[in-house]
Amino acid sequence: MPPIEDHPLRYELANELHARPFPSLSAPCTAAYLAIKQPHDAAKRDRGADLAHLVALLDRYGAGHPQPGATHYSGKIGRHVLKWESHTEFVTYTVFTEGVSTRPFDPADFEVFPAEWLAASPGMRVTSALIRVTPWKNKEQTREETDQWFVSESVAVARVLDDAAVMAGDFRIDTAGHLRFSVSVAPNTGARRIGRIVQRLCEIETYKSMSMLGFARVREMGRQMGETDSQLSRLIGDMTGGTQPAEETLQGLLHVSAELESLVAQSSFRFGATAAYEQIVNQRISVLREERFEGRQTFAEFMMRRYEPAMRTVRATKERLDAMADRAMRAGELLRTRVDVERSAQNQALLESMDKRADLQLRLQRTVEGLSVVAISYYAVSLAGYLLYPLTGVLGLSKGMITAAVTLPVVALVWWMVQRIRKKLH
């Protein structure tokens, strides 16, 4: 019996689940992270340009190239390890280096990405971060380093993964242009678990930044939505009060509906992406299983106080935009119904007017028919008189008497003929 045939995508889809493993890291080490995105239509970008940019970096270090069309890559570049991933809207570069610099979060750690190479990027930086991973010493040392490295007003600190590590960060951009995160690792924490923690930090920061693009879009839309909402309310008021002609109000509503549909079309992708990114941020924080460290706020609390309000604003704006579009559509339907009713009334009045004119025409026609009977009778009596005048001597009657005698029969005959013709026509 021949073996069963595999689906052509079976191995590709199965291997996709294992294509992007977590890095294996040991403390101490440093991670330099960079996320790049094109400013417009990033989802439709040329992926070949991203891959060419990666190859340019690999060539600087004499490293091997990825497969054509690859969406992820991992390999050594000099004494570092590079992890590259291509996502729907952005690409990420993470470089891991053994050991940490003497100066915490030294900008020189980011020089693994050459300045000329950065300048030739096919996109713009969404975020970049330096992550310092060190062995756990004690609470006092961790507290001192946290107070020294981060802004106390916004710093988030938490014990994660059942005390496997203590991670900290304030989500602020330093003078070198990077965010800072520290991870103090317990002695018994494995290399893969350290890699998961660092990877989660990078993902939290990236998807937080990407979802904030939705908040920026909402702020751009605020003024236009306010003006459109005011215009829509005014048009609905005109429709209710009947102060403006219905046709003019309908044209205004159609214009507003077109503007709202344009806003929905322009923002639907960003709203959808923002909701997806927000869910990823919350999920990544959740899987870290945070516990409070010496009364400091956790990453979840930081997001609840500073990030969640922005996301609620995005959701509220989306709901408001959808409600405005629905309101404009309903108002347009009501106004079209009103216009149809008014047109029906106009048509009814026009039909009544046409009936009146037809009735007048009928009356006029009957009047003309009566006059035509008189006129025809007059000429018929005259002709009959000329025919009967030679009989005046025989009958002993005058011309006047003969004319008078034939007048009534001729008129009756003409009337009967006219009535018969009218019945045949109808």
pLDDT of residue 228: 83
Q: What is the mean pLDDT of residues 283-294?
A: 95
Q: Strands 29-37 and 90-98, how do they pair?
A: antiparallel
> Does residue 207 form part of some domain?
no
Amino acid at residue number 160: V
> Does residue 331 form part of some domain?
yes
CA of residue 303 relative to chain centroid, distance: 26
pLDDT of residue 206: 97
Residue 19, φ and ψ in degrees, nearest 5: -80, -25
For 296-323, give one letter per residue: b (16+ CB within 10 A) or e: bbbbbebbeeebeebbeebbebbeebee
Kindly state whether residues 298 and 338 are assigned to the same domain: yes
Over the stretch 158-216, which tens digit does the pLDDT of each residue have?
999 999 999 999 999 999 999 999 999 999 999 999 999 999 999 999 999 999 999 99
pLDDT for residue 287 is more than 90? yes
Kindly state whether residues 139 and 39 are assigned to the same domain: yes
pLDDT of residue 169: 97
Max mean pLDDT among 21-25, 91-95, 245-249, 328-332 falls in 91-95
pLDDT of residue 349: 79
Structural domain span for residue 372: 362-423
C-alpha distances in angstroms, 51 versus 46, 203, 415?
A: 9, 21, 103
**Confidence band for 217, pLDDT divided at 50, 70 and 90:** very high
3-state secondary structure of 92: strand
> Does residue 372 form part of some domain?
yes
Query: Does residue 7 or residue 374 have the better pLDDT?
Result: 7
pLDDT of residue 56: 96
Domain-terminating residue out of 156, 191, 226: 191
Domain-terminating residue out of 324, 350, 376: 350
Count how many domains the chain has: 3
Query: Does residue 247 or residue 165 have the better pLDDT?
Result: 165
Kindly state whether residues 34 and 95 are assigned to the same domain: yes
Query: Does residue 234 or residue 219 have the better pLDDT?
Result: 219
Query: Does residue 225 or residue 121 have the better pLDDT?
Result: 121
pLDDT of residue 381: 73
Kindly state whether residues 104 and 126 are assigned to the same domain: yes
Over the stretch 371-417, which tens digit does the pLDDT of each residue have?
676 777 777 777 777 777 776 666 666 767 777 777 777 778 777 77
Kindly state whether residues 26 and 158 are assigned to the same domain: yes
Kindly state whether residues 32 and 117 are assigned to the same domain: yes
Give the separation between CA 236 and CA 240, rounded to whole angstroms.
6
> Does residue 7 form part of some domain?
no
| pTM for the whole structure | 0.77
Query: Does residue 393 or residue 317 have the better pLDDT?
Result: 317
Kindly state whether residues 293 and 366 are assigned to the same domain: no
Kindly state whether residues 246 and 104 are assigned to the same domain: no
Please state which of the ranges 118-127, 217-226, 303-312, 346-355 shows the lowest mean pLDDT: 346-355
Q: Reduced to 3 DSSP states, what percent helix, strand and coil does the chain have, rounded to the nearest 5?
A: 60, 15, 25
> Does residue 53 form part of some domain?
yes
pLDDT of residue 426: 61
> Does residue 2 form part of some domain?
no
pLDDT for residue 77 is more than 80? yes
Query: Does residue 221 or residue 158 have the better pLDDT?
Result: 158
Residue 376 buriedness (CB in 10 A; 0-12 / 13-18 / 19+): middle
pLDDT for residue 35 is more than 90? yes
Kindly state whether residues 247 and 178 are assigned to the same domain: no
Q: Strands 156-160 and 72-77, how do they pair?
A: unpaired
> Does residue 225 form part of some domain?
yes
**Confidence band for 231, pLDDT divided at 50, 70 and 90:** confident
Kindly state whether residues 285 and 396 are assigned to the same domain: no
Mean pLDDT, rounded, of the chain: 87
Q: What is the mean pLDDT of residues 321-341?
A: 78
Please state which of the ranges 195-209, 276-290, 349-363, 366-380 shows the lowest mean pLDDT: 366-380
Kindly state whether residues 172 and 143 are assigned to the same domain: yes
**Confidence band for 370, pLDDT divided at 50, 70 and 90:** low
> Does residue 23 form part of some domain?
yes
Kindly state whether residues 30 and 174 are assigned to the same domain: yes
Domain-terminating residue out of 290, 316, 350: 350
